Amino acid sequence: MAFTDSDKEISLMAKLLNDADEYSMKLGASVTGDKSHATYKPLLEYKTPEQKGSLVQGNVKGQPEKLTQKFGVEGVMK
């Protein structure tokens, strides 16, 4: 697992290796702008041996601790 907290991204990434197969998931936000007027784009990315992709699209403006938008993800990766 890895945690990133930089000017460009706030995220948590987990990776699982099963023999030669690699699975990973990243959850967080990419950040653009400066600290007084930042834009946060949600990240929910996955990677499997068969495919990789993103499950979230959109932008949210404001400070991370003041955001009230909630979302959930359901489903199964095959």
Q: What is the DSSP string of 18-31?
A: ETTEEEEEEEEEEE
Categorize the per-residue pLDDT at 42 as very low, low, confident or very high, splitting at 50, 70 and 90: confident
Paired tokens of 49: 């041996």
Q: Which residue has the higher pLDDT, 33 or 15?
A: 15
Cβ partners under 8 Å of residue 6, min gap 6: 31
Note the pLDDT of residue 69.
53
- Separation of alpha carbons 77 and 74, rounded Å: 10
Note the pLDDT of residue 78.
42
Note the pLDDT of residue 15.
93
Residue 38: CB atoms within 10 A of its CB come to 16
**Averaged pLDDT, 23-31:** 89
Note the pLDDT of residue 73.
59
Do strands 9-18 and 37-47 pair parallel, antiparallel, or not at all (unpaired)?
unpaired
Note the pLDDT of residue 40.
83
